[in-house]
Structures are given as structure tokens and as C-alpha cells.
Structure 1
């Protein structure tokens, strides 16, 4: 029988914790897995495309497939001998203006970012309830403060938070649920947006990966379960404003978008043609 983690220095001892991390071969996932393993946790990852040199065992899994997701979770739980912590980290981004019809890109982001987490979580619930474990949802600042031209990502992350809220109500007697809200971190998740000419470089400040990982660990190992955790002080301010003074953040973002549209930042970007035209029209 697994010994209960020891609490010290404000965090539980991670030694012996049985952990499942999705998106384990990506930028966030590899770093999270490495840190938890370094602290003595037993970690198994899931990823669509495991990479050589992953710091933990990563099972190949398409979390958009109901049966494969459930089977991969069952395999992971069997290899770990149970489950104490699930980190729903898998996520993708991409260009998706809200004014255009939802196509394959929108469906892809919703299926991975929201439904993928839902599938993996549902398959993990029995083991987490048995261990009185925790779930950490890696959401996004955009769950509270939407940026333009990326409607699918924001919608999927806001919906992920709503799903976490429902889980908390249903499982809260036995399982802790925390949402973590990173801002922008330099990673390949931004590549497709940049390739479409929709980079929002001037509208978002990048933060270090290390702070995101530290916040995930705080959510996973903290003495008490936290409901929501931004990853930086600036993020905490943005989160507060977006929740309590949304009209203020709307005005700030709208001004930044107008400046970028008028400066030619979206020149040649077909998906931004409507935004550019509305901000540069005369008469």
C-alpha cells in the first residue's frame, strides 16, 4: 500500500505519487514530467507523438479518440498501480477568427483542448476517487481574457474551466480540481498562428516556462487545493480585471488590436482581412 505523501515547506512530498500527464512530449509536458520525476514521483505520460529522450515513459495516444483515450489511461493506471494526480496539459492553438464559420481548425482545438481533457479525466475518475487525488487543468489566461483572431483557443480553454467547475462540484468530496492560467510562453503552439500572419506579438507578454511549471507543482502539491492559479503577478492582475472589470480589459485589447491592424502588422493575412478593413476604412 502506498504511503501517504509527507507535507513540508508548504508542499506535499512528491515521492511515490502516481502521476499521469497529457501532452507529455510537448514544451510544458516535458518540463512538468521532468520536475515531478526529479521530486520522486512516478510519472507516465500520454502524447500523440512521443519523442526520443522524453524524461518519462510516454504512451502514444490520440486523446480525440474515445476508445484509445480510455485504453491508454487504463494502461497508465495499471503501470502506476493507481493514480494520485492527473495533469491535463495537452493543448493546441491556431488561427481562428470569430467572424468566420467554424471549420476543421476550430473543431481540432475544441476536440483536443476540451474534449480530450474530458475523455482522459472521465477515464481517470475511479482511480482518483479511490486515492482522493487531484486534477490540474492547464488552462490559459485566454480563458478569462480573450484575444482576437484566436477564438477557438479561448473558447476551448474557457470551456475547460467550466468543465473543471462541474468536476469540482461532483468530485469535490474526494478529488481536488485546480485550474492553472499561463499567459504566453514561447513554444511551437504559436507557429501556425504566426504562419497565418496573425501573430499577436504586440498584444501579449511572454513569461518563462519555469514559472508555469512551478505553478503546476503548487497546484499539485500545495497543502490546500486552490481553485484558480495564475502563473505570474501580472497574470493575477489580468485575471482579476478580466473577472471583475471585463470592460476595462476589452478596451485595452481593442486599442492594441486597432494599433496593430493600422500599422500593417496583418498585411497579407487573409484571415485578418475583415479586421484590417474595419479598422482602416475611411468615410
Structure 2
């Protein structure tokens, strides 16, 4: 690509989501672009976009995060990374409004990943107050999940519903939903790259489950040649180190559109997966399911 890079923000609302939710992705992408054109860094643009997705309530992240099987607990993961050395993530984080902001704060510590109780204590130390709100939408989704677990249709591909009762590790007795993520990838006008991701976890799942979202190279990656965010079933995504695999293809000269399509094709068709990415001169998104998404570029 010749000339000055064009500031670009690409967002997604999770593989398997509804394209009727593209409007929220467009709003988030525009918010991220406004942050860039207002003097913000690539990382600040990515985080701003993901905060908008977390606050939307329709996506499985932040305010829209799914309930765990006990019907009360919410565990969230988030991550940030840019091409200038920033790296931070949180896993199994409870009782915060915007986990991506906590992940961004972790990037300023001696560590790159904090989890569970330690992550929540860090959030309080960093000034993020307690937040635990459950909407009627979340409760209705949880009821549908319990009904599925009580039936013969597998709630998770390749996993028997009975397994969640057999290995139950919540404080409450078992009682008998989706696997989404939100993310943003950014290229700023100086050619720097950043990625930010957030998820409310997977349903159904055991307490303490961690997917691909906070795992570097699996759910997210950014470097000198681009940024990649992945959505789908983490237990399958991590086996392919999918974000770094796609990034490596882009760094080797593959067109971004070809790289994201090839990445999705690595997983079986029955596994939900989607990839968004931005490179030096192009950006693309691809999923084997409907996936709310958007791309905005500075004129």
C-alpha cells in the first residue's frame, strides 16, 4: 500500500449472532474511529469500540454476558494487544461492568494475565467498582439453556449434556446461551495495529472455564503486520492457535480476506468460528455462521 495508511476499525459481535445486530457493530466501530481521529492510539480505538459492544447488552460480553449454570454467576474474559508492546488480559473475572478496561489496566502491570479472585481484586484496586446486573434477556436465555440440557439435543457440539452434571463444581446443586465474543481490530493513520476482545464466556460451562478470548495467539493477536480477533468455540480455536496462525499468513504476504477465510476453514463446519483482521492495506471478516460485524474507515 502506498501513501498514508487509512485509519480503519473492524468489529464483530460473535459467530452465530444475528446480522440484525450489525447496527451495534457499526456504532462501536464508529466510536473507535472517532477515538482515533480525535488523537487516540490504535489501542485506545480498539478498547473504545469494545466498550461500546460490552455496553450494548445484545452481545455476550459486558452487560450482555451469559449466566453460568447456577443462574447467578457471570464470568468474563477480555484481552488487549497492540503492535507497540501493550498486552493485557483477564480471565474468569466477576462483578465488573467493562472487563476490557480491566484488561487494558493489566497491560500497565508487571503481568499480562490475571484471573479469578485476583483479577477482581485488581479491578477494585484500579478503580473499577462492583457491578452485577442480570437482565430479563439473560434470564430467558438461561431458561432456554436449561431446557436444552434436560433434552436429547447436545447443548455443546460433541459434549454429552450429562457431563455438566457429572462434573458440576458450583456451590449450588445442579438444576436441570451461546458461545459468543465481541472484538475490534484497528489500524491507525500511523500504521500501528491493535486488537481488543471481550466475552461473557460459554454456556453451558463449568465454573472457572476459560476459552480462547484471553489466550494470546488463540483469540487475539497484534503485531507489526496486522491485528486479528477470533470468535467461536474456544476449546477448538485454541488447538489451532487461530489468531496467530491467521496473523502469520498475513505477515507472509497473504491477502487479509484469503487469510481469514482460510482460518475459518481450519475448523469443522459444525463448530462456530469467525475471524476479523486488518493488515497494512486491507481488512476483512469471515465466519461460517451469521456474525454481526462492521468496518469503518477514515476518509
Q: Which has the higher contact order (CA 8 A, sep 6+)?
A: 2
Q: Which has the larger radius of gyration?
A: 1
Shorter-chain TM range is under 0.3
Which structure: greater strand fraction? 2
Which structure: greater helix fraction? 1
TM-score by length of 1: 0.27
TM-score by length of 2: 0.26
